[in-house]
Structure 1
Amino acid sequence: MTSLERPLPLPTEPLLSLDGISLSFGGVKAIADISFDVRQGEICALIGPNGAGKSSLLNVINGVYRPQQGTVTFDGTGSRRMSSHDAARRGIARTFQNIALFRRMSVLDNVLTGRNLHRGSTWLEQTFRVGRARRDEATQRRYAEVVIEALDLQRVRDSVVGTLSYGVQKRVELARALAAEPRLLLLDEPMAGMNADEKRAMAGFIVDANEQFGVTVVLIEHDIGVVMDLSDHIVVLDYGKKIADGSPAEVRVDPGVLAAYLGTRH
């Protein structure tokens, strides 16, 4: 893989802070007293063995799960839980491990669904194409086209999503999330199931999105080579606990990480 190693970012204020987050399902503790900050403009990776609590933590951040303890602070406002709708409205977008696109719709139409919170016309105006609907639709399409170009999807913009390769569909999913103009983008295994070339391309698109759109990224990824090149900051989880938190250079040599994740236990 061609190195994407990033320069050290300039210090900024945290956009996201987790303080003492604990989450249990029945008697099973999925997350135990986890705290860390994600600074504005950085790419932060969550890594750890399967079952470490990574996806559960993303679900806490965007309001799918409510922790029993702890506070999530986003853009200076702390709460035990936001609803998923509130998280989206405040600027948090999310992709999932499994592709969740509208398979019978075109790429453009899928990306346009990410613009729903930015529409200025009512559903009635949109249905009958009256009032603000036409101008609003033109505005949303212009932004969708910007995202499509940024992710190099122009040649498939009118293609039905279900006919596209897995790697391209994952890119469409990223485009739809970016179309929402998020401040924080949560990516749950955006490169799962990809070959080396597809991973290299997706890593480049994530970096481009971070730089071009100014979006802060928190991602889950199992390919350590990708993580080390892509990330400004890495948080390592093991059995629901945080065992490391630092730069790629710091995490690479952390004894706890080597034992729990990079060594013999996967």
Structure 2
Amino acid sequence: MKALILAAGKGERMRPLTAHTPKPLLEVGGKPLIVWHLERLAALGVREVVVNTAWLAPRLVEALGDGARWSLRIAWAHEGAEPLETGGAFLHARPLLGDGPFIAVNGDIWSDFDFARLPRAPRGDAHLVLVDNPAHHPDGDFALAADGRVDAAGAPRLTFAGIGVYRPQLLEGWRGTIGAEPGAGLDPPRFRLAPLLRAAMRAGRVDGVHHRGRWTDVGTPERLHELDARLRAGPAAPALTP
């Protein structure tokens, strides 16, 4: 099974920290955010990881190399000067990911979620990890039904953790789903994954799991520093406040 780590963003809300350092290389608990992911993927038995890049791409390549130090093989999906958004990133990386289900993880999150809980293949097109809504995102993203089905509407709502398992078939017919979204006509296309997920949800082809452990969207310097302090305090430290 392969994995995709999304690492192309500019990290504009993290300036000046990201002026010369890609956000996934910012450190928490003594190691870069992306290294936490690489270690957990390697422990799961994943051996091939695709990392997409745009902003400060050479810094990521220099820091991670070919992945051998984690017993991984890293393939680089360079997107150019501008990130392609999540949907464009999936489409651009698809030739490197192959035809089977793959794990995808946002490079700018941290969680104690056990990747071993992920299915080897989703029942439908996608399996999403959801978490309690943090203070900066109180309305959440999706609803999780008792049978594990994920819907765009409904309650109670949870927040997408940026961790999931996907089938490449999720991308089939993407132009018809995206429509006239800005960037869809570019080469390579630039578009969000959310409309494709919502379409799959309407067809009943997305399920998920509620992770009640620790999770942080490292979107601001304040959240980065808080997370770093918690991790350095050790495993007995209380979970981050949502």
TM-score above 0.5: no
TM range (shorter): under 0.3
- Structure with bigger gyration radius: 1
> Which has a greater percent of helix?
1
TM-score, reference length from structure 2 = 0.26
Instruction: Provide TM-score, normalisation by structure 1.
Output: 0.24
Pick 1 or 2: higher relative contact order, CA cutoff 8 A, min separation 6.
1
